[in-house]
Amino acid sequence: MKYSFKNDYSELCHPELLDALLKASNEQNTGYGLDKHSDAAKELIKEKLECNHCDIHFVTGGTQANASVISHILRPYEAVLSCSTGHINVHETGAIEATGHKVYTVPGVDGKLTPSDIETALKYHQDEHMVKIGLVYISQSTEIGTVYSADELKALYDFCKVNQLYLYIDGARLSSGLAASDVEFNQLKDLCDVMYIGGTKIGMLSGEAIVIFNDRLKPYFRYHIKNKGAMLAKGYVVGIQFEAAFKDDLYFKMGKHENELSSYLSNELKKLGVSLLSESSTNQIFPIFSKEQVEQLQKLYAFEIWEPVEEDKIAIRFVTSWATSKEVCIELIEDIKALID
Amino acid sequence: MKYSFKNDYSELCHPELLDALLKASNEQNTGYGLDKHSDAAKELIKEKLECNHCDIHFVTGGTQANASVISHILRPYEAVLSCSTGHINVHETGAIEATGHKVYTVPGVDGKLTPSDIETALKYHQDEHMVKIGLVYISQSTEIGTVYSADELKALYDFCKVNQLYLYIDGARLSSGLAASDVEFNQLKDLCDVMYIGGTKIGMLSGEAIVIFNDRLKPYFRYHIKNKGAMLAKGYVVGIQFEAAFKDDLYFKMGKHENELSSYLSNELKKLGVSLLSESSTNQIFPIFSKEQVEQLQKLYAFEIWEPVEEDKIAIRFVTSWATSKEVCIELIEDIKALID
Amino acid sequence: MKYSFKNDYSELCHPELLDALLKASNEQNTGYGLDKHSDAAKELIKEKLECNHCDIHFVTGGTQANASVISHILRPYEAVLSCSTGHINVHETGAIEATGHKVYTVPGVDGKLTPSDIETALKYHQDEHMVKIGLVYISQSTEIGTVYSADELKALYDFCKVNQLYLYIDGARLSSGLAASDVEFNQLKDLCDVMYIGGTKIGMLSGEAIVIFNDRLKPYFRYHIKNKGAMLAKGYVVGIQFEAAFKDDLYFKMGKHENELSSYLSNELKKLGVSLLSESSTNQIFPIFSKEQVEQLQKLYAFEIWEPVEEDKIAIRFVTSWATSKEVCIELIEDIKALID
Amino acid sequence: MKYSFKNDYSELCHPELLDALLKASNEQNTGYGLDKHSDAAKELIKEKLECNHCDIHFVTGGTQANASVISHILRPYEAVLSCSTGHINVHETGAIEATGHKVYTVPGVDGKLTPSDIETALKYHQDEHMVKIGLVYISQSTEIGTVYSADELKALYDFCKVNQLYLYIDGARLSSGLAASDVEFNQLKDLCDVMYIGGTKIGMLSGEAIVIFNDRLKPYFRYHIKNKGAMLAKGYVVGIQFEAAFKDDLYFKMGKHENELSSYLSNELKKLGVSLLSESSTNQIFPIFSKEQVEQLQKLYAFEIWEPVEEDKIAIRFVTSWATSKEVCIELIEDIKALID
């Protein structure tokens, strides 16, 4: 097989992050995230956010981050509102419900929620015989590669504040999401109560940075992540990586790189007459091929089968990662050209 | 106000059940459901079921019964499949999720599930990144007053067994549900793994009888209901009522009475040209009136506003109970006749 | 068998409460505790408490009340502190842990906690690697029949307030507990944040009244009890009983009656040279007999074997209930006299 | 500060493990632990265990491993039995209770449980009003540095099997524990139902290997760890490290190294007349100093204050790690010698 476009966590670690780890390999560091690297990483993130008053905590995975944040925010009878395609609803094996909370879903459009979706959900839940919606969950980019604009996020968050709902942004693919949207990193402090900055899917061995902006949600969060099994003994392993990723804007460059390659692929595919399931501007694209073409492509490349589209056609998913090269993309296009000729 | 058709739990207790309680008022009985009345009630239920091998446990409410049964059956990563209108999905304030489990829903038709609905759900859940469907939840009658036929139940249960799913019937309104369908009480042992026989909505002070048919689900259920706060110190209070309700088929007569009155209402309303939201044969009916008519009716009767129907029309819900008299139904029809003339 | 001294929930219902239920048997009442009887009962309780600002909620059992209150108060990483003999620690089959919380225990003395016990527990829990003590649980009377004095309760609550801990009183046997101590019912509003007034063990079919004094704990408690399966459709059944129990101080008279009979038993036993395991002034006493004497007694009376005491001796438990008569106590003493002669 | 003896997770990663990661840095690997390195690591572990029939799963932390295993094994009403000093009881912020289960404790001796401890616990739990003990939790080495002998483990497991209890060994410090005891790694398959092989505390960036021997506990464990937020996207990061650690017995050598240094420290301290709190043969030792001496030592070294011992004396903890050198230990002894002269 030539290359896997299956996902953005197939490659170990960005060389600069690995270097940073190597440099620290003779140090002794304090445990549980109370080390100098974690501190430095937090300072760098706060600088980029232009925000001093937020609390930052490092954990190792997205499901862990989501379950920890959501169960910290909600009271037992409260539910989190999500788009039906949301990661917490579909792909976390009930991890949110395992903490005791319903994931209440609305269909949304293009994997995104609008204030009107939330309003509908609120109107539906009228009394104590139904869950109380306490929190809105969105992701940037979304499960299907779309992004919220700054205006859309602002409208959502304004609506949430008026209705006493918290807003949480799952940033598993935040780097690619920011690069594809008009949202600036330093605007995020005014666009949600909590978010997490994804590391695992953008070149780290593992690691996510939970950022709490809302003062009411800050107390005792370290107790909470320990209670949820999400506190790392060697927290500095994640700290070192975030420190390196935020030193020279590497974190943001990687997402841009991913999007450039996926844009290249989209454009070339269109030139070849290949249609795409959606207009994604992030690092996931969904071209449509015939079953036979898919089978041929599978001999050369790995990718995910997304869903059947009309008769005899299938949408597949190509994901570009921080490690994907332009060369392998050019080769992919060449191979597809040969295939459809 | 003349009368409330709001629900079937507005009246305290059927006189025969109250009599049975009075007769026992000078006794001393063993606690926690280990008394002679509970034993006798279980024997009577088993006789009517023509089933000796089932285990029966008394609890005080439907949500308690549902949460206890479902959390007993499922493993932590498993979900219960329900129609989206299901009581556990909409009206239990997240009580099932509070025990750690996702309620996965499909739309269904007329408040009911088919094998094909379950098949679709199973196909959707393919691997360990998604919950595993472990149990199918239905109710007889359903939230919207419809009933499963014996053939429908058999098809569902056959499908469940082939696919290693448990089937659980919520019988909050079982008496009315049986009276309206071709399902015989003694068939139920072959049509599900667990069910509960509702008492609260059919003339008891409170009380539901959980019946476990499947041997694998029997062990340690008493531990489980204690763990869920559902074990009653004075279990005999429920036992006495079930003993009386099953002695002379009173349990079944009350449902028939309810259905006769709701049929009378349906038929008379149709004669008056009032249309109904659905063809319900149980003790809930959903006539459609204009907003003005609804307001007039509200001066005389209590009932629930169900949902807006097209322009300026509203579906309301009338529930007949074991205590509702023919007289009050006749009067209601007279009042409606006056209203729409 | 002549009589059972096994517990105080062997008899159905006090005649005056049963009368009140009978009187309401032709009414229609609103569901879910929003009825006129529940309102009236709450008013009466507030009057007796001389407290207008508390919230009152009716549920059906002690474990339910405890699990609902404790899980409402605590954050996920918080624990409840209890005496090791506490009901929530020993006899609720893990119902508190099932809501996600550790029951942290200290030995206590005579089934009771002191400020110094709490202080020790607080000092032991220093950082986020250990649970945070959030709530202190006590009961009046305790599991072993002892009571807190008003001064003891005040000292406990003062300590809790200074240390930002909530204090919760389990009043499963509050009536007997109050009758045996110098604590007045109307003092309780200043002695804890939440309590429940037990009904099941003092003559009700079932029913406990949770009273929330602390404003911070009031919001959304109805959502919470629904979420925990503790909201009753026929809430008025409990409401009617509390209304009757608090109308003419019946609630308080029943506890006094119990204590008078248990005092009578204690005194007569001492006269006969029978020693007692503890100095209980409530409705549970623990006389010590030889194994042979216990076997003889078991032929005439039912009671619980409490624990072996030194060689060949056993402590047993006699519980007097609201329904126990002086006559049966006299007869018991006669039979014991015959036995030990 | 010269050196930290605070714990065994202050240093990033053993050079050989880091090398293995570097070698894989240009690969693409399958996600979620389904990669070739994880497979190879599992094969190596199985070879060393001389056991083909076990299932192995990699997670990132000890609390995660414990919470995942324990909640997988237990039914809702079941408790885990632990020594009161057990990590799950004291230092996991209620993570086990957060999955719904009581941690029932007995004092034990030297941080260890005996069959008689378990027997006492079983006798105490008699009926459905109390939790059911379902699982016994021990650790090798224990929280206080002691170890079980092979005979002790066999006696425990035999007792567990006869009494239908599962036995789980927490191996956070298994390498040191094995090196200090007569238990061979390949005996463990016959000495418990499940264990985890600790990586984080023995030179890995992070990573623990859960090994399930008992067939009944194998099904659906991947679903369970996903549900508990413990499934890693880049599972291969842990797989690569375990592959390297088990290739040339590095895993076992590191524990021996730790123990040699701690033995050296113990012996030299005894020669200097310093007494030790316990006879530990693993990598944690607990010397006792005067308060003044401790203060002096703190200027040069980092270590944990363990507990006050009699008047004016304090036990402290020195932990030797895979990265600790003989030289630093010699220096420590020199500095102590100077201090106490």
Long-range CB contacts (< 8 A, 24+ apart) of C107-111? C107/C83, C108/C83, C108/C84, C110/C142, C110/C144, C110/C146, C110/C278, C111/C83, C111/C85, C111/C142, C111/C143, C111/C144, C111/C145, C111/C146
CA dist B210 and B201 (Å) reads 15
Apex CA D166: angle with CA D165 and CA D167, to 5°?
Answer: 120
Name every chain B residue with its beta carbon within 8 A of the beta carbon of A98. Answer: 76-77, 100
- CB–CB of A232 and D13 under 8 A? no
User: Which of D93, D98, D129 is opposite residue C128, by nearest beta carbon?
Assistant: D93
Distance CA C114, CA C138 (A): 10
The CA distance from B329 to the nearest CA of chain D, in Å, is: 48
User: Is D67's CB within 8 Å of A234's CB?
Assistant: no
Residue A31's H or E segment, with its range, is none
Task: Write out the DSSP string of B66-114.
Answer: HHHHHHHH--TTEEEEEETT-HHHHSSTTHHHHTT--EEEE--BTTB--
Contacts of C125 in chain D (CB under 8 A): none
Residue from A99, A102, A307 whose CB has the most chain B CBs within 10 Å, to mutate: A102
Interface test with C, best of D66, D70, D102, D305 (most C CBs within 10 A): D102
d(CA D237, CA A10): 11
pLDDT of the residue at D126: 86
| Residues of chain D contacting A3 with CB distance shorter than 8 Å | 28
The per-residue pLDDT for range B220-237, each reduced to its tens digit, is 999 999 999 999 999 999
Report strand pairing: B55-59 vs A301-302.
unpaired
Which residue of chain B is at minimal alpha-carbon distance from C220? Answer: B93
pLDDT the model gives residue A279? 84
Mean pLDDT of the region B56-62: 97
Rounded to an integer, the average pLDDT of B307-324 is 93
Which of B94, B128, B129 shows the shortest C-beta gap to A77?
B94
Higher-confidence residue: A287 or B341? A287
| Contact across the interface for B220 and D99, Cβ inside 8 Å | no
Question: Residue C265 in 3-state DSSP?
Answer: helix
- The residues on D that touch C, with CB distances below 8 Å, are 76-79, 90-94, 97-103, 128-131
Contact residues of A toward C, CB < 8 A: 32, 71-72, 75-77, 99-100, 128-129, 131-132, 220, 222-224, 226-228, 231
Reported as a single tens digit per residue, the pLDDT across D127-151 is 999 999 999 999 999 999 999 999 9
Cβ pair C139, C171 in contact under 8 A: yes
Which of A226, A231, A232 best tests the C interface by mutation, with the highest count of C CBs <10 A?
A226
Quick check: A264 pLDDT over 90?
Answer: yes
Test A100 with B103 for CB contact under 8 angstroms: no
Widest CA span of chain D, in angstroms?
62
pLDDT at C1 over 90: no
The residues on D that touch B, with CB distances below 8 Å, are 32, 71-72, 75-77, 99-100, 128-129, 131-132, 220, 222-224, 226-228, 231
pLDDT band with cut points at 50, 70 and 90 for residue A271: very high
Asked whether the predicted pLDDT for residue D20 surpasses 90, the reply is yes
Q: What is the pLDDT of residues B14-28, one digit of tens each?
A: 999 999 999 999 999
Judged against a pLDDT cut of 90, whether residue A332 lies above it is answered with yes
Q: What is the mean pLDDT of residues A272-299?
A: 94
Could you identify the residue written with the tokens 């505790």? Answer: C33
Mean pLDDT to the nearest integer, A89-102: 98
Interchain contact, C223 vs A100, CB within 8 Å: no
Whether residue C144 contacts residue C138, with contact meaning beta carbons closer than 8 Å, is answered with no
Provide ipTM, 2 decimals: 0.96
Q: Where are the beta strands (DSSP E) in chain B?
A: 3-4, 55-59, 78-83, 103-106, 132-139, 166-171, 194-198, 208-212, 284-285, 288-290, 301-302, 304-309, 313-319
More confident residue, C267 or A311: C267
Minimum-distance CB partner of A31 among D9, D13, D236 = D9
pLDDT score, position B311: 80
Q: Is the pLDDT reported for residue D310 higher than 90?
A: no
Which residue is associated with the tokens 């975030």? A242
Cβ distance C223 to A77 less than 8 Å, yes or no, reads yes
Radius of gyration of the CA atoms of chain C, in A: 20
Q: Which of B90, B101, B129 sits opposite A97 (nearest CB)?
A: B101
Residue B310, pLDDT above cutoff 90: no
Residue C105 β-bridge partners: C82
pLDDT at residue A341, rounded to an integer: 81
Tokens of A9: 């966590």
The closest CB to that of D128, out of B100, B129, B226, belongs to: B226
Mean of the pLDDT values across residues C155-163? 98
Sign of the four-CA dihedral B115, B118, B124, B125: negative
Place of tokens 């207009």: A279
Question: Please, which chains are in contact with D (at least 3 CB pairs closer than 8 A)?
Answer: A, B, C
| Statement: residue B1 has pLDDT above 90 | no
pLDDT score of D339: 92
Q: What is the distance between the alpha carbons of residues D275 and D210, in angstroms, rounded to a whole number? A: 37
The answer, yes or no, to whether residue B151 has pLDDT greater than 90, is yes
Cβ-based contacts under 8 A for chains B and C: 147
CB contact under 8 A, B60 and C28: no
Q: Which of B59, B71, B227, B228 to mutate to test the interface with D (most CBs of D within 10 A)?
A: B227
For residue A76, the chain C residue with the least C-alpha distance is C224
For chains C and D, count residue pairs whose Cβ atoms are closer than 8 Å. Answer: 56
Q: Do B129 and A92 touch (CB under 8 A)?
A: yes
Closest partner residue to C205 (CB to CB) among B28, B223, B237 is B237
What local confidence, expressed as pLDDT, does residue A314 receive?
Answer: 94
Cβ–Cβ gap B60/C60 under 8 Å? yes
Nearest CA to A86 out of A117, A112, A119 is that of A112
| Tens-digit pLDDT profile for residues A190-199 | 999 999 999 9
CB–CB contact C129 D98 (8 Å) = no
Chain A nearest CA to B53, separation (Å): 33
pLDDT, mean over chain A? 97
CA distance C144 to chain D (A): 17
At residue D341, the pLDDT reads 81
Report yes or no: B193 and B168 within 8 Å, Cβ to Cβ: yes
CA-nearest of D307, D267, D271, D303 to D288 is: D307
Which helix (H) or strand (E) covers residue B303, if one does?
none
Residue percentage of chain A with pLDDT more than 70:
100
Set of chain D residues whose Cβ sits within 8 Å of the Cβ of C103: 102
Mean pLDDT of A49-63: 97
Contact B226 C63 (CB under 8 A): yes
Mean residue pLDDT across chain B: 97
Give me the pLDDT at residue C101, please.
98
Distances (CA, A) of D244 to B147, B289, D1, D179: 62, 75, 32, 19
Q: Which of C85, C102, C103, C135 is best to mutate for the D interface (most D CBs within 10 A)?
A: C102
Domains located in chain B, CATH noted: 3-7+252-340 (3.90.1150.10), 15-250 (3.40.640.10)
Mean pLDDT computed over D106-120: 96
In terms of CA atoms, which chain B residue is nearest residue C5? Answer: B28
Give residue-wise pLDDT tens across range C114-135. 999 999 999 999 899 999 999 9
**Closest Cβ opposite residue D129 in set C91, C97, C130:** C91
